Amino acid sequence: DYLAFFSGRRAVPIIAVFVMILLSGILYFVWPLLYNGLFSFGEWISGMGALGAGIYGFFNRLLIPTGLHHALNSVFWFDTVGINDIGNFWDNAGEQGITGRYQAGFFPIMMFGLPGAALAMYHTAKTEYKKAAGSILLAASLTAFLTGVTEPLEFSFMFLAPLLYLVHALLTGLSLFIAALFEWTAGFGFSAGLIDFVLSTQVPIANQPYMLLVQGLVFFALYYFIFRVIIKAMDLKTPGRDDAVLSAEAPARAEEGEDLKSAHDDRYSRKADQILIGLGGKDNIDTVDYCTTRLRVNVHDDSLIDEDQIKSSGAHGIAKPGKNNVQVVVGTEVEHVAEEMKRLL
């Protein structure tokens, strides 16, 4: 009986439990070293003035796919080593032109740069996919511009075109360097969008924040032209350029008289079904969970995964952090898709 149990699929969750216990024990010793390394790196570049701000901006974006940017942020944004850039800015404390330097350069990127990248991706999309790509990219651009929430845009090309994401990280570093060099400062309580920008202009310590808007227009043009040239020159499969991507991305159209909610449910059901097939079918799936933008799935046999099939659902990308672990980048509608997958299972 024991042999039958551990040779069957029911053994997978048990094995996973023991593996996670072992991994937790290892990380108990490894994570402090990793965190302290990032922490020391942050302390080192904090003494480099505007150049340090630029280096911080570059690594802030570069580390986002791993989540390790939070360790770096704690050095500059909070009172971990005494910088406390966010707290001091909103308390109107510190030195004008200096306090806020680790925040200001993000405004030109989030409000202008990334929307410029979205426009480039729209203009380089295939004609038959322009409408679907445009609706997604426009919504994500407005979100970035107003609130500074950039994940929907960044995840639209992070995995499809990693080179563009590297360019994005470099331009972010350049933006923070320029803003810090000229001592143009503003701050945010949530993220570098229009709402926080308007609020921060009322803080006396903000220094020439309107120049960040001028800088933003320049970065809009930079992002647009650089992204457009690279996409065309390297034939990168950004949203709207891959036959397997966005074929099911456009929202389902409710037939005349059909309830809109039902149409949306059908859309999520179709997407979940296509992803389910791409993951090897029901029998190949062990567990399904999700985070902000990604489905997190454990499969029994990763050789059964069909990435093209998954992308045909409109998924933005696929990551495989482990042999039997798959992450499908769905976007902000991930919760609905995950619930539909669970229902189908």
- The half-sphere exposure of 196 on its side-chain side, counting CA atoms within 13 A, is 27
Last residue of one domain, picked from the residues 250, 274, 293: 250
DSSP annotation of 65 reads G
- The half-sphere exposure of 267 on its side-chain side, counting CA atoms within 13 A, is 20
Band of the pLDDT at 243, cuts 50, 70, 90?
Answer: low
pTM over 0.85: no
Statement to judge: residues 188 and 324 lie in one domain: no
Question: Could you list the active site residues?
Answer: 291
- The pLDDT value recorded for residue 247 is 46
Statement to judge: residues 81 and 149 lie in one domain: yes
Strand 325-329's sheet: what is its strand order?
285-290, 294-299, 325-329, 317-322
Band of the pLDDT at 81, cuts 50, 70, 90?
Answer: confident
What is the helix (H) or strand (E) element at residue 246, kind and residue range? Answer: none
- The pLDDT value recorded for residue 12 is 54
The mean pLDDT of 39-56, rounded to a whole number, is: 88
Statement to judge: residues 167 and 279 lie in one domain: no
- The pLDDT value recorded for residue 13 is 63
The mean pLDDT of 166-182, rounded to a whole number, is: 97
- The pLDDT value recorded for residue 335 is 85
Q: How far is Cα 175 from Cα 162, in angstroms, rounded to an integer?
A: 20
Statement to judge: residues 50 and 154 lie in one domain: yes
Is pLDDT larger for residue 258 or for residue 269?
269
- The pLDDT value recorded for residue 253 is 42
- The pLDDT value recorded for residue 262 is 52
Statement to judge: residues 100 and 200 lie in one domain: yes
Residue 2 placed within a domain: no
Statement to judge: residues 174 and 38 lie in one domain: yes
Statement to judge: residues 226 and 193 lie in one domain: yes
Residue 1 placed within a domain: no
Q: How far is Cα 306 from Cα 311, in angstroms, rounded to an integer?
A: 9
The mean pLDDT of 316-338, rounded to a whole number, is: 83
Give backbone dihedrals phi and psi of 308, rounded to 5 degrees, phi first: -65, -40
Give me the CATH number covering residue 278: 3.30.1360.60
Token code pair at residue 233:
């020159």
For residue 71, the SS3 value is: helix
Is pLDDT larger for residue 58 or for residue 313?
58
Strands 317-322 and 325-329: antiparallel
Last residue of one domain, picked from the residues 197, 225, 250: 250
Number of domains in the chain: 2
Q: pLDDT tens for residues 131-167?
A: 888 988 999 999 999 999 998 899 889 888 899 999 9
Q: How far is Cα 205 from Cα 94, in angstroms, rounded to an integer?
A: 8
Q: Which residues are paired to 289 by β-bridges?
A: 296
Strands 294-299 and 325-329: antiparallel
Find the domain containing 268 and state its range: 260-344
Q: Which residues are paired to 327 by β-bridges?
A: 296, 319
The CA–CA distances, whole Å, from 238 to 103, 117, 121, 140, 318 equal 29, 11, 7, 15, 14
Alpha-helix residue ranges (DSSP H) falling in the chain = 2-7, 11-46, 49-62, 69-77, 85-90, 101-104, 106-108, 114-123, 130-147, 151-154, 162-181, 194-200, 210-234, 260-278, 307-311, 334-344
Residue 31 has pLDDT above 90, yes or no: no
Residue 193 placed within a domain: yes
Statement to judge: residues 235 and 86 lie in one domain: yes
- What is the secondary structure of 152-190 as a DSSP string? HHHTTTTTT-HHHHHHHHHHHHHHHHHHHHTT-B---SS
Q: How far is Cα 169 from Cα 251, in angstroms, rounded to an integer?
A: 31
Identity at 331, one-letter amino acid code: G
- The half-sphere exposure of 197 on its side-chain side, counting CA atoms within 13 A, is 25
Statement to judge: residues 155 and 273 lie in one domain: no
Looking at every residue in the chain, the average pLDDT score rounds to 86
Residue 4 has pLDDT above 70, yes or no: no
Last residue of one domain, picked from the residues 191, 221, 250: 250
Residue 345 has pLDDT above 60, yes or no: yes
The mean pLDDT of 322-336, rounded to a whole number, is: 83
Q: What angle, rounded to 10 degrees, do the helices at 260-278 and 334-344 form?
A: 70
Statement to judge: residues 157 and 197 lie in one domain: yes
Residues 6 or more apart whose CB falls under 8 angstroms from that of 22 comprise none
Tokens 């997407």 label which residue? 271
Q: pLDDT tens for residues 300-325?
A: 988 889 888 888 888 877 888 777 88
Q: What angle, rounded to 10 degrees, do the helices at 49-62 and 11-46 form?
A: 170
